[in-house]
Structure 1
């Protein structure tokens, strides 16, 4: 992957890659050793993704493909497997860093290459300094950087999305080479197996390639027809992961759209059972207000202003089909806006602010165009142009790097918002207690709900195959009705998650029966750890 990304790019892509890796490692070590040892695991979903990945090989009941699940796309979990199997990386959150940080660095490289490859009349070429600055502005944004050192799915998704955009640009601008189109489709199929925001893109790609094949003025010989047919087939390849995911859900759950309907876990279920939907559903003014304010907080007025100025330059340039590449980059953020409007997505300023990362390629590319235009402005003498560019780039980096000192890093604040709730804090203490109490013998039944259970699992550092998960769909298990016959340990909470309300209540109402078989060996305000007598 690195070899593909840096090919035909000179030394700059290598410098960008190594610089981003160094910056990311410095940030991760600072957060872990100075701020909080759980800082890489603040996001609930970061914990859940790590657990989901490890369950594929380390789970007692049905490890393997049976743990692919639904709702969450599986590719990030498969990519995480080598790292979550290392206990130290798994329990500290550095498993996510090991995957996401190289993805962040490679995404920066591809943004550099997209900017360098733009063809804009009035600007001879996007200079290396503008593309270089854009690549590092992306990676050093504190909000994006935090996502790039955790096990969230944004970093792998952004890599595959931006890589596909680069090869789409190459195909569209550089002679329609089949190799570029195939690479675009392959990376796009990977992106669609990471996040749903990219699902519009294969359809868009197929339409563009189909229209191009129809309009292209070539001979009508068999060789020309074969080239057009191969191009269309190459674009259809981008649908492969979507077809796989629909087929998997049909095979495993009897419903190809189970991922959108699953109780307790789907985005639409959360949207309908939390208050944010009421503010956004079919209310475009509210959606744009939330989206705009969050974008301003994430990118700052200077970078957004530079992006708007770059868009103005881009619009003025008379480029044949110039909107095609721009629209490709715009589709994922447009998907987010549409999902908020139709009530299947959630966002409330800092809450889910990570969705704003989808807008970053557009902003970065437009900023590079603006910097290139300033550097190419013949009305300004060369010396002053250099000073002006240095001042603009300096202001962009100074503001961005100073954000943690005087303003909110909204992705971190979003993560800490969930991390700091009392149920979660006490779950961490329970996991730490379980780590010290567990002697390696026997299974551990957990009656908390999956989110709290996963926090306990990661904190305890105990192999996942030793846990007996009891949630709403688990009532079929013999261990649920008679835990003492199967599980030596039992963890129960008085404040379970939504996917374990009834199963937990069942045993909360029968604690006297549990007491005849188990001793309470640890207890805090919300949780008990019990050991078999």
Structure 2
């Protein structure tokens, strides 16, 4: 591990660790729910917890829409009560992923430019970006994507430099397996690695006989094992290898899909604006300037082509309606993969500018201009940290009421089952602040219609009813809002806010009240 402790790497680790910890502390001091502002963040956290705390624990909680690796990495921390109920479970693995990605990008940039200083600056630009810092502190899949995509880029570069060193091809294949089990936009990359391998074989850049050629093809093809395993899982569990695609398509709202699907110009405009606000005009300008630079060697072009496939996959998904974004920064995190090739290309231009600079002052000025955008994002509201804005917007529109009812439930809960008629996303937001074991909750969906149209009070002591539920619970919630008089014969209202009704079974409420009034 001697390589890890060279001066620049150690400095990078210390700076990023301090920056991430201070950022997390500042955010948590402002609001204890800050790391689960995003609806997806709370759902990722609850989904992970359900492996060990639910009415049906076990591997089936992997599900279908979300890829499993981020949840499996999060599991040891989500299983801890303190970390889970305070929304802190993702901090340790997230910071580790951030530092690992920065070290990999440092290695890529240093090997391309030949400058350790440029490598350090580039890694700090990504690692101290407030958008990426926030994504690294919350229970989402972007931190693992950044780590494994950056690691794959480093391993691929090392292999392209030494095509005969198959260990780097093996490492690249392994990191791609992990990447394809983290985010879907990496799924084109195993095919790209196979094509690169074929190109190197056809151009005789890999020494050795037929045995080594076969090993190259096998190692590159092995990078698809993660995606194949996911297809197999969906087939064995749901009878359809692409069940996840249907689930993903059904998640997004149709109005956002209609605004982008079939409109490539709108998609490009929105994506480009998001990139500008995510990474800043200086880095974007340097990256674009690299396009008009001197001709690069083919191996570097192969690396750029490889890294541009995930952003291209996202653009196609947006245009076809499988992914959604909007002008209010919803899903702004989707542009994250473009930051890697943008950073590498921009670093080559920065190195060229440094080589033309006469003194240290000019170099420092260029570095300050590149790093200053992080401060601008935090200090200037009109720019802002768009990934945080996206998460906070969703939280303060409705989820404060979900948090409120969860906290109220914690105050009155005296055992028994809790029926949540609000939808999965809203239900997950209620679970975390309640501090109650997840196995006491039952999120009601349409398949429970027979029971919930008859006698929910037979099985559930508490009933949480949303006035504006997610689509999956809308029909049942409307039924009970229309038939609330029937519900009120068995339940009494414990708490109500503009979004939710918290009900407790009358007989249990009366017993608990009587017990509380008994004088010892």
Shorter-normalised TM-score: what interval?
over 0.9
After superposition, the C-alpha distances for 1:310-349 in whole angstroms (9 at most, x for unaligned) are 4433xx1341333100111111111111111222221123
Residue number in structure 2 paired with 1:278: 258
Instruction: State the distance in 2 between where 1:306 and 1:166 align.
Output: 21
Instruction: Select which of 240, 243, 246 maps to 1:258.
Output: 243
8 Å CA contact 2:200–2:206 kept in 1: the answer is: no
Residue number in structure 2 paired with 1:371: 350
Instruction: State the distance in 1 between where 2:236 and 2:230 align.
Output: 10
SS at match of 1:63: coil
Change (3 A) 1:479 1:496: closer
Where does the alignment leave 5 or more consecutive residues of structure 1 unmatched? 119-124
Instruction: State the distance in 1 between where 2:57 and 2:361 align.
Output: 60
Instruction: State the distance in 2 between where 1:473 and 1:63 align.
Output: 20
8 Å CA contact 1:44–1:419 kept in 2: the answer is: yes
1:8: Cα distance to partner? 6.6
Aligned pairs (5 A) from 1:382-393: 384-393=358-367
After superposition, the C-alpha distances for 1:458-502 in whole angstroms (9 at most, x for unaligned) are 1111110111121123346x5774322222211111211111112
Instruction: Select which of 465, 478, 491 maps to 1:492.
Output: 465
1:511: Cα distance to partner? 2.5
After superposition, the C-alpha distances for 1:33-69 in whole angstroms (9 at most, x for unaligned) are 0x22221111111101000100111101x21111111
Aligned pairs (5 A) from 1:77-226: 77-118=71-112, 125-216=113-204, 224-226=209-211
Instruction: Select which of 503, 523, 526 maps to 2:476.
Output: 503
Instruction: State the distance in 2 between where 1:270 and 1:444 align.
Output: 25
SS at match of 1:492: strand
8 Å CA contact 1:182–1:235 kept in 2: the answer is: yes
* 2:22 is the counterpart of 1:46: no
Residue number in structure 2 paired with 1:461: 435
Instruction: State the distance in 2 between where 1:159 and 1:128 align.
Output: 20
Instruction: Select which of 339, 348, 352 maps to 1:360.
Output: 339
8 Å CA contact 2:145–2:183 kept in 1: the answer is: yes
SS at match of 2:114: coil
* 2:232 is the counterpart of 1:247: yes
Please, what TM-score do these two structures have when normalized by structure 1? Answer: 0.90
8 Å CA contact 1:9–1:113 kept in 2: the answer is: no
SS at match of 1:94: coil
8 Å CA contact 1:479–1:485 kept in 2: the answer is: no
Residue number in structure 2 paired with 1:432: 407
SS at match of 1:394: helix
8 Å CA contact 2:180–2:227 kept in 1: the answer is: yes
1:176: Cα distance to partner? 3.3
8 Å CA contact 2:261–2:319 kept in 1: the answer is: yes
SS at match of 1:334: helix
Instruction: Select which of 7, 11, 16 maps to 1:15.
Output: 11
* 2:212 is the counterpart of 1:227: yes
Change (3 A) 1:399 1:525: closer
Instruction: State the distance in 2 between where 1:480 and 1:359 align.
Output: 49
1:9: Cα distance to partner? 7.2
After superposition, the C-alpha distances for 1:77-115 in whole angstroms (9 at most, x for unaligned) are 111111111222112221121221111111111100011
8 Å CA contact 2:125–2:371 kept in 1: the answer is: yes
Aligned pairs (5 A) from 1:281-296: 281-296=261-276
Please, what TM-score do these two structures have when normalized by structure 2? Answer: 0.92
Instruction: State the distance in 2 between where 1:10 and 1:525 align.
Output: 57
1:526: Cα distance to partner? 2.3
SS at match of 2:90: helix
Instruction: State the distance in 2 between where 1:278 and 1:176 align.
Output: 49
Change (3 A) 1:329 1:385: farther
Where does the alignment leave 5 or more consecutive residues of structure 2 unmatched? 508-520
1:504: Cα distance to partner? 2.2
Change (3 A) 1:13 1:475: farther
Q: How big is the alpha-carbon RMSD for the aligned residues of Structure 1 and Structure 2?
A: 1.9
1:280: Cα distance to partner? 2.1
SS at match of 2:495: strand
Instruction: State the distance in 1 between where 2:62 and 2:232 align.
Output: 13
SS at match of 1:95: coil
Residue number in structure 1 paired with 2:511: none
1:150: Cα distance to partner? 0.8
After superposition, the C-alpha distances for 1:208-238 in whole angstroms (9 at most, x for unaligned) are 112322331677xxx6111111111111111
* 2:419 is the counterpart of 1:445: yes
Instruction: State the distance in 2 between where 1:66 and 1:474 align.
Output: 19
8 Å CA contact 2:446–2:472 kept in 1: the answer is: yes
Instruction: State the distance in 1 between where 2:206 and 2:13 align.
Output: 41
1:270: Cα distance to partner? 4.0
Change (3 A) 1:186 1:467: same
Instruction: State the distance in 1 between where 2:376 and 2:158 align.
Output: 36
Instruction: Select which of 418, 422, 445 maps to 1:471.
Output: 445
Instruction: State the distance in 1 between where 2:109 and 2:49 align.
Output: 38
8 Å CA contact 1:374–1:385 kept in 2: the answer is: no
1:19: Cα distance to partner? 1.8
* 2:286 is the counterpart of 1:306: yes
Residue number in structure 2 paired with 1:122: none
